[in-house]
Amino acid sequence: MNKRRITAEITAIGGYVPEDRLTNKMLETMVETSDEWITDRTGIKERRILSDPTMATSDMAVLAIANLLKDSGLQAEEIDCLILATSTPDQLLAPAASLVCEKAGLSSAWGFDLNAACSGFLYALSMGASLIESQRYKKVIVVGADQMSAIVNYQDRNTCILFGDGAGAVLLEPSSTENGIKDYLFKTDGKGAAYLSVPAGGALQPASPETLMEGKHFVHQDGKTVFKAAIKGMGNACQEVMTRNGLMSDDIDWVVPHQANLRIINAVGKRLNFPPEKVKVNIQRYGNTTAATIPLCLWDYQADFKPGDDILLTAFGAGFTWGATYLKWGNLRHNNGQPKG
């Protein structure tokens, strides 16, 4: 008898968003913009901002993990590995994942950071799935967390309206059922670095009075170029993953896209013939939280997902980086540590 291949199944979810809200009306007092203009162009009504100066990205990740562990009934020391997708680590060194492991009590886990911008969570999810499929690890937490408010210029109306702060986490465990992560496709095009980046603060342009004066430690974006590339990249990646898995649009139960811009989300859905009711959207509440958008969507809408549902995840980010992941939803754990059902 052939033994069924081990897949990585999402068995628990956690999330955290800061309490402080930055609404469109508040932005009207900061830059030349309006609630109507922002809503029409992006779909965003408000975003969460981490305003506590004693906290940073690692702390949001810790709170998302704490939420995951509480809901699942697992203990921190049961976790084998942590993969943290972020573009905004607390500092260049040490890795933020090391800080998260310490603060979250993941005493048995090793961890590392992964930076693929807005695509980071999907890249990290594939890495976590590989560790599970190797059968060397049983419980891997994948986190997407970003404090975008730390690198946004609140005098630039083209970027400050887009971004918010938050963290989302999923637990991956082995499954021998039909559920789990089935396939993924990723692409990278370094030419895109010219259109979406934080120019200074790294090895090429270390922080200096000049880079600070020129605002080079903030996000810089060519919105039109990114907009077009995101629609094309996410659309093509989804189509290729569906084609090689013999799937049509009607076969997909849910689409969970990166929450960059509602117009991008709608354009991708229309291009692939996904009805709006199948596409999960929470950008109106959180804005673009970069690596955190997809896990926060999974966290927000987890009650809608049923075992065996076919779900497509897709993202596009700086780099350019983009891709899609196909999975079958499984059984989430109860807070007694046992799988549901």
Residues 137-152: tens digit of each pLDDT: 999 999 999 999 999 9
State residue 67's pLDDT score: 97
Q: How far apart are alpha carbons 314 and 257 in whole angstroms?
A: 5
- What the block records as the tokens of 1 is 């008898």
Let me know the angle formed at the C-alpha of 323 by 318 and 328, rounded to the nearest 5 degrees.
140
The yes-or-no verdict on residue 247 having pLDDT over 70 is yes
Span 82-106, average pLDDT = 97
State residue 1's pLDDT score: 42
The yes-or-no verdict on residue 338 having pLDDT over 60 is no
Residue 172 backbone dihedrals phi, psi, to 5 degrees: -105, 135
Q: How far apart are alpha carbons 226 and 320 in whole angstroms?
A: 9
Q: What percent of the chain has pLDDT over 90?
A: 96
What is the distance in angstroms between the CA of the first residue and the CA of the last residue of the chain?
27
State residue 335's pLDDT score: 61
Q: What rounded mean pLDDT belongs to the chain?
A: 95
Residue 81 annotated as catalytic: no
Nearest to 198 by CA among 279, 117, 112, 272: 117
User: DSSP readout, 128-153?
Assistant: HHHHHHTTS-S-EEEEEEEEGGGS--
Helices 262-271 & 223-244 angle (0-180, nearest 10): 40
User: DSSP readout, 169-229?
Assistant: EEEEEEE-SS-EEEEEEEEE-GGGGGTEE--SSSSSS---HHHHHTTTTS-EE-HHHHHHH
The yes-or-no verdict on residue 259 having pLDDT over 70 is yes
Complete domains list, the chain, with CATH: 7-178 (3.40.47.10), 182-328 (3.40.47.10)
Span 67-75, average pLDDT = 96
Name the band, by pLDDT with cuts 50, 70 and 90, for residue 2.
low
State residue 341's pLDDT score: 39
User: For residue range 99-112, what is the model confidence (pLDDT) as tens digits?
Assistant: 999 999 999 999 99
How many contiguous H segments (helices) and E segments (strands) does the chain have? 11, 13
Name the band, by pLDDT with cuts 50, 70 and 90, for residue 339.
low
Q: C-alpha 296: how far from its chain's center? A: 7
Q: C-alpha 185: how far from its chain's center? A: 16
Point out the catalytic residue in the list 118, 160, 238, 297: 118
Q: How far apart are alpha carbons 113 and 115 in whole angstroms?
A: 7
Point out the catalytic residue in the list 258, 261, 297, 331: 258
Q: How far apart are alpha carbons 165 and 157 in whole angstroms?
A: 17
The yes-or-no verdict on residue 337 having pLDDT over 70 is no
Point out the catalytic residue in the list 24, 67, 179, 288: 288
Residue 101 annotated as catalytic: no
Q: How far apart are alpha carbons 39 and 55 in whole angstroms?
A: 29
**Amino acid identity, residue 175?**
S
User: For residue range 183-228, what is the model confidence (pLDDT) as tens digits?
Assistant: 999 999 999 999 999 999 999 999 999 999 999 999 999 999 999 9
Least confident span in 139-148, 261-270, 272-281, 330-339: 330-339
> How do beta strands 21-23 and 196-197 pair?
unpaired
Span 282-301, average pLDDT = 98
- What the block records as the tokens of 17 is 């968003």
User: For residue range 157-189, what is the model confidence (pLDDT) as tens digits?
Assistant: 999 999 999 999 999 999 989 999 999 999 999
Residue 160 annotated as catalytic: no
